[in-house]
Amino acid sequence: MKKIHLYGNWKMNLTRGETEAFFRDFAAQFSSPSPLAGAMGKTLEVAVFPPFTSLSAAESAIRSMNKDVAPILGAQNAYFEAKGAFTGEVSLPMLKDAGCTHVILGHSERRAIFGESDDLIARKVKAALDAALTPVFCYGETLGERESGKTLDVVSRQMHAALSGLSAGEMEKIVYAYEPVWAIGTGKSATSAEAEEVCALSKKLVQERAGRSFPVVVLYGGSVKPDNARELLSMDAIDGALVGGASLKADSFLQIYKQYSESKI
Ligand code: 13P
């Protein structure tokens, strides 16, 4: 069975107290005889991305957990400068200091609501790699772009922009997350075939740019829930899910993996 990367983007949700409750429920899900016991690190990699204000609560909950079930900690955004007069921003070294190893960059909500450009996102991706954090680089088309047949062009443009100036070794360190904008928070996931097509193209594009082949990790995101997890995660080019709404409760979040793994027994 392939390894599933199950990443939870909490967006602007969960206070410190709610974060502590999440981790209590999360740890309880792993006590045997759960199908999750023994999966972490082998067929399952879990990462959670709380808002900045809940990172310290998450970090201490993770530190007090058994290492065999502890998830990875990441943040949802960062600025590319290390420090200075950038009111309201948080730097990559600060995220490292807060216990993060991963950072989501280029999320469509950052692009659409906060006006982040391909160029700004590229600078952030490079800065994250320089700071030895794993970028979870998000990209995807809007509904209008899909309906006018531009999906593959848009995805290629976003990916080429992020990869420009990176070495093959750096490209290999990125986790890629294809998130069609029209599927985010709408309850309407891409079909498995639609998601597979773009995830497969993503792998090809990274390898072509890198000039060599290596395992490219590509997640699908957009209304992933327990009831569509099996089909999406069974696709060849999909290595996992970047989950929004269904990641806010440990039970529904981990159900996504359980639904997939139970279908493979
Ligand atoms: P939903 O799972 O709520 O659609 O959100 C997906 C997402 O944007 C994850 O980054």
Check if CATH label 3.20.20.70 holds for domain 4-262: yes
Asked if residues 122 and 161 have their Cβ atoms less than 8 Å apart, the reply is yes
Query: What number does the ligand 1 atom closest to the CA of 185 have?
Result: 4
| Spatial CA neighbour of 136 closest among 200, 86, 179 | 179
Using the atom order of ligand 1, give the atom closest to the CA of residue 242. 9
Q: State the distance between the two ends of the chain, measured CA to CA, in whole angstroms.
A: 9
Q: Which residues are catalytic?
A: 107, 179
Residue 258 CB partners (closer than 8 Å, separation 6+): 35, 36, 226
pTM, rounded to two decimals? 0.97
Contact 71, 43 (CB under 8 A): no
Encode 50-110 in three state secondary structure. Answer: CCHHHHHHHHHHHHCCCCCCCCEEEECCCECCCCCCCCCCCEHHHHHHCCCCEEEECCHHH
Q: Tokens standing for 148? A: 């006018």
pLDDT tens-digit series, residues 72-115: 999 999 999 999 999 999 999 999 999 999 999 999 999 999 99
Instruction: For residue 232, report the distance from its CA to the centre of ligand 1, in Å.
Output: 14
Cα separation, 257 vs 240, in Å, equals: 9
Which residue(s) pair with 218 in the sheet? Answer: 176
Q: List pLDDT tens digits, range 127-179.
A: 999 999 999 999 999 999 999 999 999 999 999 999 999 999 999 999 999 99
Q: Tens digits of per-residue pLDDT, 211-257?
A: 999 999 999 999 999 999 999 999 999 999 999 999 999 999 999 99
Mean residue pLDDT across the chain? 96
Ligand 1 is surrounded, with C-beta below 6 A, by: 9, 107, 179, 184-185, 221-224, 242-246
Q: Whose CA is nearest to atom 7 of ligand 1?
A: 244
pLDDT at 60: 98
Compute, in angstroms, the gap from residue 185 CA to the centroid of ligand 1: 6
The answer, yes or no, to whether residue 32 has pLDDT greater than 80, is: no
Q: Where are the domains of the chain?
A: 4-262
